[in-house]
Amino acid sequence: MNGTVAWAPWGLVVDAVVLLILWTSVTSGWRRGFIGSLFGAAGFAAGGILGVAVLPGALANKLPPQWAASEAAILVMLILVLAAITQGVLERIAMPLISCIRASWARYTDAFGGAAVQFTVAAVALWVATGLLALSPIPALKDGISASRSLHVVDNVMPATRDAVLEQALVALDAYQFPRVFTDQEPPDVRSVQPPDKAIASNEALRAASESIYRIDALALRCNRSQEGTGWALTSDTIVTNAHVVAGADRISVRVKNERHSAHLIAFDPARDLALLKVEDLQAQPLPRAERVSRKEALFMAGYPLGGPYSTQPGRIATRMNARGADIYGQGQAIRQIYVVRGDVRPGNSGGPALTVDGRVAGVVFARSTTENETAYVLTLKELDEFLTERPAPPAQTLCAA
């Protein structure tokens, strides 16, 4: 939630709910007082921590297929229920102490303190919960959270961004998978090149390219996943993305200016981790290709990290190499020509283009380091060209990615 927030209709609904919850929390804190609210906050935090530690593993692959896309929302509700139970238990323990304070001159100070504590607890709970609920496949819910001004204000005063919390939730839910880039090789160290210049995050060419870059939504009921990634226009009606973004999908859609267009697979390569989608009536402007890129050159990883909003992350090429890894199923060996880039990508960037400063495609983002935050892996145009030449036909039903 960075930058200007458009106050969309669903954003108004979310704002109204947020303000109602905050007001209810303040009045509740006033009645309970500081000590009661402090005990309650400790109980709420303990229950939340316990829920985050235990429930994702307990919930994994346990839901009926028709509920798979709502796994994040169900997890949020269960964590909040557990937190509310532990909150109530500790508040009950504190009742004798609360009664003593209410009978003394300190009751108003205690009430003010309680209101402040409850407001803080509610704001943090809303911040975390809406981060998880942003995973929901329901467009109105996602759009409302994204457009909410009240949540934007809360996000700005928190010590960490909501995106960072959301990323940890995605890892806990196992909702996004990157293929293994290296199996019997040591990953190269990107510190041999200077960090990317973060001041150059956008220019006219990069902004123009964004019109041909789309969010991909793939509902994989058999895999108990709702997957998101990025794709870009190869032709007016075909889109390149990663195979692991659409693996196992029962339904694939492409979001174009807040409208969803159905897409279907026309080529699929689990070894290279590339897929080609056909989208009827897309009428996209194909992205131009870069003629040549070299070591230390700046690249911009464009896409929809964590499901949006759109962003371009600067990077710098550290090296080009042939990487021996595994296919998207974690089975057969895959040798890919890649750029190792000093830069940050997140779940949701998969399938997006790595652009040169003049908005040309230099490769396809497909993975990141499992140990270093500032290391991204990009498939070269050589890999893309071989994929497009072979155009391996997709099976009737692709398997779930490992």
Residue 252 has what pLDDT? 92
What angle (nearest 5°) sits at the alpha carbon of residue 214, between those of residues 212 and 219? 155
Contact 328, 185 (CB under 8 A): no
In this structure, the dihedral spanned by the alpha carbons of residues 296, 300, 304 and 309, taken in order and rounded to 10 degrees, is: 130
Residue 1 has what pLDDT? 42
pTM for the model = 0.65
- Whether the per-residue pLDDT at 161 is higher than 80: the answer is no
Residue 55 has what pLDDT? 74
- Whether the per-residue pLDDT at 396 is higher than 90: the answer is no
Lowest mean pLDDT among 93-97, 110-114, 150-154, 173-177: 173-177
Query: In which band, very low, low, confident or very high, does the pLDDT at 6 lie, cut at 50, 70 and 90?
Result: very low
Query: In which band, very low, low, confident or very high, does the pLDDT at 54 lie, cut at 50, 70 and 90?
Result: confident
- Whether the per-residue pLDDT at 114 is higher than 60: the answer is yes
- Whether the per-residue pLDDT at 156 is higher than 80: the answer is no
The mean predicted confidence, pLDDT, of the chain is 82
What's the mean pLDDT in 25-33? 82
Separation CA 42–CA 56 (nearest Å): 22
User: Percent of the chain scored above 90 by pLDDT?
Assistant: 33
Residue 355 has what pLDDT? 96
Residue where the block lists tokens 């929901």: 136
Better pLDDT: 105 or 364: 364
Which is it for strands 225-233 and 238-241: parallel, antiparallel or unpaired?
Answer: antiparallel
- Whether the per-residue pLDDT at 5 is higher than 60: the answer is no
- Whether the per-residue pLDDT at 173 is higher than 80: the answer is no
Contact 35, 92 (CB under 8 A): no
Which of 63-77, 219-233, 371-385 ranks highest by mean pLDDT? Answer: 371-385
Residue 15 has what pLDDT? 84
- Whether the per-residue pLDDT at 53 is higher than 60: the answer is yes
Residue 81 has what pLDDT? 87
- Whether the per-residue pLDDT at 73 is higher than 70: the answer is no
- Whether the per-residue pLDDT at 285 is higher than 90: the answer is yes
Fold (CATH) for 190-390: Thrombin, subunit H (2.40.10)
Lowest mean pLDDT among 63-67, 224-228, 307-311: 63-67
Residue 160 has what pLDDT? 60
Separation CA 219–CA 252 (nearest Å): 6
Better pLDDT: 225 or 300: 300
- Whether the per-residue pLDDT at 360 is higher than 90: the answer is yes
pLDDT digits (tens, 9 = 90+) for 228-277: 899 999 999 999 999 999 998 888 999 888 788 999 999 999 999 999 99
Q: Where are the domains of the chain?
A: 9-173, 190-390
- Rounded to whole angstroms, what are the CA distances from 121 to 7, 22, 40, 315, 348? 25, 9, 9, 38, 30
